[in-house]
Structure 1
Amino acid sequence: MMSPLDAINANPPNVWITYFDGFDPSTWGFVGFDTDGKRKSFLRRSQAGVLVVIAGSPQAKPEEKHQIIGVLQCSHEIGVDRDYMPSAAFADKESNPRSRGSWANAVRVVRAWEVSEDSRMHIRDFASETYTGKNGQHIGSQGSPLSISEAKRLLTMNLRETEVFNCPPISGTNFAPAVDVLRPSRPGPTSQSPTEHREAEGPCHVYVLALSGKPGIFLNDPSARGKIIKAGFSKAPEDRREAHNRHIPVGPFQWNVLKSTEAEGRTAFPGSIQGKAAEAALIAVLDRDGRSLGREFFLAEDGVIEDAWTAAKKAGDEA
Structure 2
Amino acid sequence: MKTKRDFLRLLIFLVPSCLAGPALAGQALQTINIATSAAGQSGYIAALIENKKLDTKHGIKINNMMMDFTEAANAVKLGRTTASSMQPSTAVNLVKSGTDIRLITPQIWSGNSWVVRKDAPYKSFGDLKGKKIGNFARVTGAYFFSAVIAKEQKLNIEKDFQNVPAETGALIALLERGEVEAINMFEPHTTRLVMSGKYRVLTDFDIELENIFGAPPLKSTVGMLKETVEKQPALVKAIRSAYGDAIQVIKAGQDEEFFKSKAKELFNLSTPEEITAGLKQNKANFADKWGESFFQSQNKILQSGISLGLLPNIGDLNNLWIK
Q: Which of the two has higher C-alpha Rg?
A: 2
Higher relative contact order, chain-length normalized (CA < 8 Å, sep 6+): 2
The answer to which structure has the higher helix fraction is: 2
Category of TM-score, reference length = shorter chain: under 0.3
TM-score, normalised via structure 1 length: 0.24
The answer to which structure has the higher strand fraction is: 1
